[in-house]
Structure 1
Amino acid sequence: MKIVCLGILLGVAGAAAAATPAPVAPRLEEMALTVTPAHPREYIFSDKGAAHLAGECVGENSRSYHGFYVAMHEVVDGWTLRLEDGTELGPATVTEAIVTPDRLVRRHTLPSGEVVTETVTLFDRENGFKVGYDGIPGGRFAFRPRIDMRFLWKVSRPGYDVRWEDGTLLACRTDRVGEAPDPAHPAWLAIAAAGVSGFQAAPEYLDRTYPKGVARKAMDKASPWVPGDLVGHIPPRIPSGRLEVFFAADVDAAAAAARARRLREQQVDLAAARSERLQQLVDDSAITTGVPRDDIALAWTRVSLDNLVMNQRGPGIYAGFYWFTTYWGRDTFITLPGACITSGQFAEAETLLRSFATFQDTDPASARQGRVPNFVTVDQVQYASIDGTWWFVRALDELWRQAGDDAFAAEMAPVVFRAVDGALAHAVDGEHFLTHGDGETWMDGGGEAHPYSPRGNRAVEVQALWHRGLLTAARLAARFPDVPGARADYADLAARLATNFHARFWDGERLVDHLNVDGSQDTQLRPNTLLAVLASPTLFDAPQRAAITAAAADLVRPWGVQSLAASDPFFHPKHLDLANYYYDEAYHNGDVWLWLSGAAVSALNDPREGFGQTRMLLDEALDEGAVGTIQEIRDGAQAARNDEFGGATSQAWSLAEVLRNVVQDYAGLRVDLTAAPPLIEVRPSVPAAWPDLAVRTRIGEHPCLLAPGADERGPALWFPDAVPDAWRFRWIGPDGAARAGRLEIDTDAPAGWNHRVRWD
């Protein structure tokens, strides 16, 4: 990867300010990553609506999941361009690909040594994309699209209705011709090309086998269909020519054709709008470290996470690409702090929480009364998760503290009160523990019917989440006593739960994973004790945190956090070892889960000790797996390469936890606008590799810039304008001593940041 030192600082005056650069995110073009056939990598683009485009940067599609999709339904499998001399520009001719957040550029080297450049651009919320070629040699050419209209998890060879009308190729499955329009699943594809003279029908199915599917023995075959060739001619007098092809999906043939024409007419503006949106995204939540490579990795992490924030029949966050392109509750709620809250995108966070809250089970007779769903699609609402609801409450609490939006908190208070009521009525035992089935925690491989990692009936992180939920309910009830459903005993319940928790969950110096149905302690070494600290930090003091992280040290490896200790007889060293076991057995019995690195860092009394986990994840985004993103899992045993393990290729919570760690743990920003008085605390734990760490976010309605290791005056916390007088500032120094701060006008501040907190 080529790294360019930005050397860009906001304008400053004075020597002290010059030592504290304001975060200026990399430009999109500076984020370019190069892929060659020696190390193939995947690309994934989404359009912020319901469409995404994915494939191999170089080489043939390696998954049936590659292609252009709208709402889990594939539309286009791929394409090639054949030249007059018979050369087919496709995977075999790509010698280099360059990926930026807004486009994919492939360079095809011809036998003559000439280079044809192919540029792929997805447009935002348009159900369409463009493929452009520059440098085409003179003579005839034929553009050959591959169509595969099917649901994500189905293999079929449907018939197709194909039409060539007014210079546009139109295609639809024969079984969908004439059906009622469904905007969520557009039936028609239009392909319009500038520079094409006609269409030559040559229909055929291509039976494909996909190596990454073969490795999983799942979705390893498909039969994309070629309708024929869009043909044209580059006059010999022109040294090299251009071809632009536009793909568009819509509800009927006329609408699809019109959309394709509009994409062609508005392509410059549409491409610019997408680029500007992505640049604004990384600018508004800029993180700089003083290390250009890491700045680029963090910017890619932000972009790839945003790739998963979609609007498929309403706003939501995909759990991951490729087979989790729906909204999962638990994943969404764990993702929200890193995706939206620590970056100051409060409105988006509120929208996402509200959308799940509307599906809460409010039936008093239901065993799942009060639960927020773990899975929502147009066809299904599923509540099979004991912890999802309490991750929801934890996300709400984090949002309320940093945004300070009492109106939204009051709106959500009844949701929290109902959740507590449902738990007390149906799931809380005599010791105030929250009980559940074997497969109802996040370690749910095999489901409730055949759990591979049974953790019933009182998991450690579930109790911590329940504790956090009760404390949040207590604060909501105190702030909004007139909201229906409030109780007066939430804090008392939390205190009794905490007492029983510490009496029953400790085995000497070690916190246990769960209590069995018979009340015995399960002593398998799992990382859920780290999640317990993340879920409810106030449940543990510093010595207890030290004991928890020391006990978990055997799980925290340089390649990630294992889901089960390697010394356990049930440990599975590889995710994919189908000769010996089905891969779901390994998911939570050895597999490394990359999102757990976030909890491992946060549980430490000194987060700097966990920086190796963050470094490992940023290296993956730049160098391994799909371009610019982070996977779901790795093998439990260290692998020679970290490109592919059979899990999700891009996972929301893996990405989000990196960003949350940077803001909350390394920069040390902790906000509680719900406190009396509101408190903004800075407790830096800046890694030695990042002496110039600086982050940009929002506190309430106010943008802020934090450089935690700024200068001799202490952490620099800047605001562009005055903040409420009631706010209090506190800096916890390396020695643990607290110092108060006050906001003053700073004449040496970076441009636009006129007020800085001065520490006593």
Structure 2
Amino acid sequence: MRIIHEHNGERREGEGRGLGAGMFLLTNKKGTWLSLAPENITKYNGLIHYDAVADTYVKTIADFVLATKPRTIINRVSSVERQHDHARETFWMSSTALHYHLENYTGPLILDLDTRRLDDESTDGRSYHLEQEGDVLLIHYEKRGGPRGTYAYWVACKGLSTHERIDRWEERHFPYDEQRGDASTFWVYRACALPIHGRARLVITRSATREKALAKVERAWTEEEEIVESLEHAAQRRYQTGSLIRDLALAALDALTTKRKGSFTGIYAGLPWFHQFWSRDELISAAPLITTEQYSLMKELLVRYYERLDTPLEAQYPSGGLRAVDALGWLAIRTHELLAKLEAQGILADYFTRLELAYLRDRLQFALRERFRTQLRDGLIVSGPGETWMDAQWGGDDRAGACIEIQAQTLRALKLAQFLEQKTRLFPSSEWRKREKALHERVRGVFFRGGVLADRAGDPTQRPNVFLAYSAYPQLLSREEWRGVFDAALPSLFLEWGGLASIATTHPLFTTHYTGMNNKSYHRGDSWFWVNCLAAQSLHRIAPEHYHETIARLMDAAVA
């Protein structure tokens, strides 16, 4: 599969190989996305909508099937084009509809349907009804019984005045889901064939009623030229850093930044599988909002978390899952970065009043006092099993205890508390400076021995968390000491292809191959993209020339 990225006159191409080569993702930034592959590999491929009324996700179309398979895929940021030997498909996602153009093709376009709520995998009580009204194909789906009860949806597909019924249920096997150890065999409904003579354009919408589906599709059809032009111009204006790779990275983050109806703006943890807001994932991913000066959005995101500091932050936002003990640290890091940049530009007062800064101060200080009251043991901050970002437990490895990145993030939060004190009080309290000094000394004394920085108190296992610690609180060690720490860690973490293992390759729990939904490899071998990039940044800041080759290999692996 040939894969091409084109944007603002720049182009990069290569060959896609392996499972999922040629899979793409488009979103409308309102909770709806389209994910397709030449041969769909997961149940999460298809057209998936956010239903604001039921606060759930609904899959409608499973696939568009032509007589030929695509050979080339072109990502143009605002659209995706798939090229066959002769045929050419183009997809756009607008706020209300999927827009699909097909050219240079004569033959059937088959619609496979898999309409259901994503959290409903039961198979009984599913029924479809198709009807043609002028050039609109109306599809009614009803699900009766099962764990989610009875529900129904309408899909409107405008553009062709006839269809040929197929009306057949077919079994589909999804190899990536099988590889992950997830449910991988489903029944999809091969609904109909749309006869294509040279070219066609389709607009597809979903709604709860027939009337609303028709109204939405008619409006999207009428406004399509304006919609497509707006999408393309917006992409050209929004992503123009001068680097295609940076533009594509920003576009990917923007695609995950979602404003669902009646809700807040947030950053999805990762589509198509993780269609939720996860505290640490969102706060880690939000850094480019600062570098691209999206200050108002960044402020909105951060304040959401400060509003929830009455209790420890949980893994999912606003609630759900285990306690995410590192979420407070990431919140402090991003807040400190934002406030420091605003101050450096002389515009802090344009975004935060003194009263707002005092609010952040009080919320943060409350959370810190609670952390020291409930988590301080022997002078260090401890966390429970599965509460750090390495939350997937296996083989007795749960990282309970005092972890290095949690100490560093707490130290950063203490530094932020001092910054907020200075900005909001005539006579700043010395409490936070004293706490920082005591914790700093204790962490150095316990974790840093013989030039090695331990992953946990009493556990010298090497993990890439040393890079998280540096990024959070570089003041923990001197530049030369950090260089020695990285020199000690890299040989046992660096993998041949250019990434870092999540545990030393010499450790008994190190796992050489991805184990999917089985936790075994998750934090005991799997390499994490964001950690690799953060490690490259850390190495560059400490000794760019010394680590030049390692940085280059990390970055080559990141953009391969």
Normalising by the residue count of structure 2, what TM-score does the alignment of the two structures yield?
Answer: 0.87
The gaps in structure 1 that reach 5 residues or longer are: 5-25, 81-88, 110-114, 178-184, 235-240, 289-294, 363-368, 516-520, 624-760
Counterpart among 438, 441, 444 of residue 388 in structure 2: 441
| Matched residue type, 2:451 | E
| Matched residue type, 1:67 | G
| Matched residue type, 2:47 | F
Alignment of 1:519-534 (within 5 A): 521-534=458-471
Counterpart among 229, 232, 245 of residue 275 in structure 1: 232
Find the counterpart in structure 2 of residue 167 from structure 1. 135
Alignment of 1:65-104 (within 5 A): 65-71=44-50, 72-80=57-65, 89-90=66-67, 92-104=68-80
How big is the shift at 1:599? 2.9
Q: Which whole-Å CA distance do the structure 2 matches of 1:507 and 1:130 have between them?
A: 60
Given that 1:597 and 1:614 are in contact with CA atoms closer than 8 Å, whether structure 2 keeps it comes out as no
Given that 1:297 and 1:618 are in contact with CA atoms closer than 8 Å, whether structure 2 keeps it comes out as no
Find the counterpart in structure 2 of residue 645 from structure 1. none
Find the counterpart in structure 1 of residue 155 from structure 2. 189
Given that 1:439 and 1:451 are in contact with CA atoms closer than 8 Å, whether structure 2 keeps it comes out as no
Look up the SS of the partner of 1:254 in the other structure: helix
User: Could you say if the C-alpha distance between residues 214 and 511 of structure 1 is closer, same or farther in structure 2, counting changes exceeding 3 Å?
Assistant: same
Q: Which whole-Å CA distance do the structure 2 matches of 1:200 and 1:462 have between them?
A: 60
Find the counterpart in structure 2 of residue 303 from structure 1. 251
Given that 1:511 and 1:548 are in contact with CA atoms closer than 8 Å, whether structure 2 keeps it comes out as yes
Given that 1:336 and 1:349 are in contact with CA atoms closer than 8 Å, whether structure 2 keeps it comes out as yes
Alignment of 1:471-490 (within 5 A): 471-481=415-425, 488-490=430-432
Alignment of 1:150-161 (within 5 A): 150-152=116-118, 154-157=120-123, 158-161=126-129
Q: Which whole-Å CA distance do the structure 2 matches of 1:186 and 1:622 have between them?
A: 42
* Alignment partner of 1:129 is 2:129: no
Q: Which whole-Å CA distance do the structure 2 matches of 1:2 and 1:227 have between them?
A: 30
Find the counterpart in structure 2 of residue 372 from structure 1. 313
How big is the shift at 1:319? 1.4
| Matched residue type, 2:483 | A
Find the counterpart in structure 2 of residue 424 from structure 1. 372
User: Could you say if the C-alpha distance between residues 621 and 219 of structure 1 is closer, same or farther in structure 2, counting changes exceeding 3 Å?
Assistant: farther
Alignment of 1:100-499 (within 5 A): 100-109=76-85, 115-123=86-94, 125-126=95-96, 128-137=97-106, 141-152=107-118, 154-157=120-123, 158-175=126-143, 187-193=153-159, 196-231=160-195, 234=197, 241-283=198-240, 286=241, 288=242, 295-312=243-260, 313-337=263-287, 339-360=288-309, 362=310, 369=311, 371-376=312-317, 380-382=319-321, 384-404=323-343, 405=348, 406-407=352-353, 409-431=357-379, 433-446=380-393, 453-481=397-425, 488-499=430-441
Given that 1:134 and 1:243 are in contact with CA atoms closer than 8 Å, whether structure 2 keeps it comes out as yes
| Matched residue type, 2:525 | G
User: Could you say if the C-alpha distance between residues 325 and 452 of structure 1 is closer, same or farther in structure 2, counting changes exceeding 3 Å?
Assistant: farther
Given that 1:471 and 1:490 are in contact with CA atoms closer than 8 Å, whether structure 2 keeps it comes out as yes
Q: Which whole-Å CA distance do the structure 2 matches of 1:457 and 1:607 have between them?
A: 33
Find the counterpart in structure 2 of residue 513 from structure 1. 455
Counterpart among 512, 520, 523 of residue 573 in structure 1: 512
Q: Which whole-Å CA distance do the structure 1 matches of 2:266 and 2:87 have between them?
A: 39
Q: Which whole-Å CA distance do the structure 2 matches of 1:98 and 1:514 have between them?
A: 46
| Matched residue type, 1:100 | R
User: Could you say if the C-alpha distance between residues 187 and 532 of structure 1 is closer, same or farther in structure 2, counting changes exceeding 3 Å?
Assistant: same
Given that 1:461 and 1:528 are in contact with CA atoms closer than 8 Å, whether structure 2 keeps it comes out as yes
User: Could you say if the C-alpha distance between residues 607 and 344 of structure 1 is closer, same or farther in structure 2, counting changes exceeding 3 Å?
Assistant: farther
Given that 1:142 and 1:229 are in contact with CA atoms closer than 8 Å, whether structure 2 keeps it comes out as yes
CA deviation vs aligned residue, 1:364-395 (integer Å, no higher than 9, x gap): xxxxx3x2332026xx5445111111111111
Q: Which whole-Å CA distance do the structure 2 matches of 1:73 and 1:610 have between them?
A: 47
Given that 1:505 and 1:512 are in contact with CA atoms closer than 8 Å, whether structure 2 keeps it comes out as yes
User: Could you say if the C-alpha distance between residues 136 and 574 of structure 1 is closer, same or farther in structure 2, counting changes exceeding 3 Å?
Assistant: closer
CA deviation vs aligned residue, 1:608-640 (integer Å, no higher than 9, x gap): 5545566556655665xxxxxxxxxxxxxxxxx
Q: Which whole-Å CA distance do the structure 2 matches of 1:603 and 1:231 have between them?
A: 56
| Matched residue type, 1:508 | G
Look up the SS of the partner of 1:390 in the other structure: helix
Q: Which whole-Å CA distance do the structure 1 matches of 2:321 and 2:98 have between them?
A: 34
CA deviation vs aligned residue, 1:436-455 (integer Å, no higher than 9, x gap): 11211111113xxx675321
| Matched residue type, 1:132 | H
Kindly report the root-mean-square deviation, in angstroms, between the aligned alpha carbons of the 2 structures: 2.9
Q: Which whole-Å CA distance do the structure 2 matches of 1:423 and 1:326 have between them?
A: 26
User: Could you say if the C-alpha distance between residues 226 and 513 of structure 1 is closer, same or farther in structure 2, counting changes exceeding 3 Å?
Assistant: same
User: Could you say if the C-alpha distance between residues 332 and 513 of structure 1 is closer, same or farther in structure 2, counting changes exceeding 3 Å?
Assistant: same
Look up the SS of the partner of 2:48 in the other structure: strand
Given that 1:600 and 1:610 are in contact with CA atoms closer than 8 Å, whether structure 2 keeps it comes out as no
Q: Which whole-Å CA distance do the structure 2 matches of 1:413 and 1:499 have between them?
A: 24
Counterpart among 531, 545, 549 of residue 486 in structure 2: 549
* Alignment partner of 1:42 is 2:23: yes
Number of corresponding residues: 531
How big is the shift at 1:228? 2.3
| Matched residue type, 2:42 | R
How big is the shift at 1:35? 6.0
User: Could you say if the C-alpha distance between residues 567 and 622 of structure 1 is closer, same or farther in structure 2, counting changes exceeding 3 Å?
Assistant: closer
Given that 1:453 and 1:588 are in contact with CA atoms closer than 8 Å, whether structure 2 keeps it comes out as no
CA deviation vs aligned residue, 1:141-194 (integer Å, no higher than 9, x gap): 5433122122335434322344433432223431389xxxxxxx993321111x
Larger RCO: Structure 1 or Structure 2 (Cα < 8 Å, ≥ 6 residues apart)? 1
Find the counterpart in structure 2 of residue 583 from structure 1. 518
Given that 1:316 and 1:352 are in contact with CA atoms closer than 8 Å, whether structure 2 keeps it comes out as yes
Given that 1:31 and 1:100 are in contact with CA atoms closer than 8 Å, whether structure 2 keeps it comes out as no
Q: Which whole-Å CA distance do the structure 1 matches of 2:547 and 2:237 have between them?
A: 30
Find the counterpart in structure 2 of residue 563 from structure 1. 502
Normalising by the residue count of structure 1, what TM-score does the alignment of the two structures yield?
Answer: 0.65
Q: Which whole-Å CA distance do the structure 1 matches of 2:558 and 2:158 have between them?
A: 35
Q: Which whole-Å CA distance do the structure 1 matches of 2:72 and 2:173 have between them?
A: 24
Q: Which whole-Å CA distance do the structure 2 matches of 1:38 and 1:324 have between them?
A: 22
Given that 1:393 and 1:472 are in contact with CA atoms closer than 8 Å, whether structure 2 keeps it comes out as yes
More helix by share: 2
| Matched residue type, 1:322 | P
Find the structure with the greater CA-based Rg. 1
Given that 2:35 and 2:272 are in contact with CA atoms closer than 8 Å, whether structure 1 keeps it comes out as no
| Matched residue type, 2:524 | N
| Matched residue type, 1:121 | W
Q: Which whole-Å CA distance do the structure 1 matches of 2:333 and 2:154 have between them?
A: 43
Find the counterpart in structure 2 of residue 747 from structure 1. none
| Matched residue type, 2:201 | E
| Matched residue type, 2:175 | P
Q: Which whole-Å CA distance do the structure 1 matches of 2:101 and 2:548 have between them?
A: 42
Given that 1:155 and 1:221 are in contact with CA atoms closer than 8 Å, whether structure 2 keeps it comes out as no
Given that 1:73 and 1:150 are in contact with CA atoms closer than 8 Å, whether structure 2 keeps it comes out as yes
| Matched residue type, 2:386 | G
Q: Which whole-Å CA distance do the structure 1 matches of 2:339 and 2:164 have between them?
A: 60
